[in-house]
Structures are given as C-alpha cells and as structure tokens.
C-alpha cells in the first residue's frame, strides 16, 4: 500500500533541454522509494503513442497538451503522482489543463523549469538547437516559435544554478509542503 493515495498532476514546463524530464525522473525515483504511485508522462513518448499525427502548429500543440492533461487528471484522480515534463508553450493551454483539474477537484501544480535559452542551446539534448541554427528545422520553441513562461507558477526551478538532485529536492519540498509527499 502506498504512503498516500492522494494523487496530483505536477506539470514541468520550460524550453527544450531545460531539464524537465531529467528532474521528473529523479523525483519519480525518490517518490517511488517512499512508496508513492508515480507515472511520468514524457512528451516524446506521448507524441509517439497518444498524439501521433499531430504537428507543431498552435492548434496541434494545444490538442497535445489537452490530451496529456486529460490522461494526467485521470491518473491523479486515482491516487497517482503524475509528473508531466512537457513544454506546453502556451499559457492558455496550461490554464485549460489547470481548470479541468479544478473542475474535477484534482490537485494540479505548475513548475517552471526556468533555464535560459542560452543554456538550453548548449545542453541541446536532442540536437534541436543545432538543427534550427543550421536551418534544418523551424518552429523551435523559445527560438523562432513562442514560449509563454508562467507568470506565477507554484515553483520556479533555476536548473542551471543547481544540480538535478537539488532541483528534484526543491520540487519534493513543495510536494511535502502541500501534503503530497
């Protein structure tokens, strides 16, 4: 039996290569060790399995975020801590997910992994910044496509100023403060 059956969606938003997924998996491991039910809804996996066929237009991005939000809310409503490391570049899309959670009385926390684009482009985990710079792709969030940073997230993580473990610990502290860990 889990330590707690209170589920929640924890959405980690930020630029590509900001550290969202790395932090999510670090926190997931810690939460599982403590006995929590945890799922990570990785954006790349979601695009492959749940949102195949969607492109990167504003409408398709909104649809992708709405689908992820729907699945996250279902899991969270059933006692799972759902970590969602997904860019979700538009504030209105994130707000729609927040409102759905509120309607269902399910906890939703927004975490902004606020890594500057200059740091992300050096990290360039998937080579996207290099491809964009070479003219091979366009529409890269935060470079030639918009990213609307959250104005008042539940937590802002400056991942370029601390280790992955410190970032995950800060998020764990927020969950503890909110009675979720």
Per-residue model confidence as pLDDT tens for the chain (181 residues): 444 479 999 999 999 999 999 999 999 999 999 999 999 999 888 988 888 889 888 999 999 999 999 999 999 999 999 999 999 999 999 999 999 999 999 999 999 999 999 999 999 989 999 999 999 998 899 999 999 999 999 999 999 999 999 999 999 999 999 999 9
Give the containing element (helix H, strand E) for 39: strand 38-40
Give the containing element (helix H, strand E) for 13: strand 8-13
pLDDT at 47: 86
Q: Is 19 annotated as a binding residue?
A: yes
Q: Identify any residues that bridge with 157 across adjacent strands, giving them in sequence order.
A: 113
Q: Is 12 helix (H, G, I), strand (E, B) or coil?
A: strand
Q: Is 18 annotated as a binding residue?
A: yes
pLDDT at 69: 97
Q: Put residue 142 in one of left, alpha, beta given phi > 0 → left and psi -120 to 50 → alpha.
A: left
Cβ atoms of 62 and 83 closer than 8 Å:
no
pTM (two decimals)? 0.94
Query: Which tens digit of pLDDT belongs to each residue from 13-29?
Result: 999 999 999 999 999 99
- Both structure tokens of 13: 């938003």
Q: Is 15 annotated as a binding residue?
A: yes
pLDDT at 67: 96
Distance from C-alpha of 8 to C-alpha of 3, rounded to nearest angstrom: 14
pLDDT at 2: 41
pLDDT at 25: 98
Q: Identify any residues that bridge with 39 across adjacent strands, giving them in sequence order.
A: 82
Distance from C-alpha of 82 to C-alpha of 85, rounded to nearest angstrom: 10
Q: Is 138 annotated as a binding residue?
A: no
pLDDT at 1: 41
Q: Is 16 annotated as a binding residue?
A: yes
Cβ atoms of 180 and 76 closer than 8 Å:
no
Q: Is 142 annotated as a binding residue?
A: no
């Amino acid at each position: 039996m889990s330590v707690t059956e209170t589920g929640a969606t924890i959405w980690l938003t930020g630029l590509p290569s900001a550290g969202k997924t790395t932090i999510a998996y670090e926190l997931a491991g810690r939460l599982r060790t403590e006995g929590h039910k945890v799922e990570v809804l990785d954006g790349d996996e979601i695009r492959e399995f749940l949102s195949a066929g969607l492109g990167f237009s504003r409408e398709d991005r909104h649809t992708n975020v709405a689908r992820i939000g729907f699945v996250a809310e279902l899991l969270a409503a059933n006692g799972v801590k759902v970590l969602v490391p997904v860019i979700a570049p538009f504030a209105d899309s994130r707000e729609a997910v927040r409102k759905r959670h509120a309607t269902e009385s399910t906890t939703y926390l927004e975490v902004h992994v606020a890594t500057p684009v200059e740091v992300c482009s050096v990290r360039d985990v998937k080579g996207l910044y290099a491809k964009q710079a070479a003219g091979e792709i366009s529409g890269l969030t935060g470079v030639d496509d918009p990213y609307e940073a959250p104005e008042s997230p539940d937590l802002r993580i400056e991942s370029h100023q601390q280790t992955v473990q410190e970032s995950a610990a800060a998020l764990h502290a927020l969950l503890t403060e909110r009675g979720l860990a």
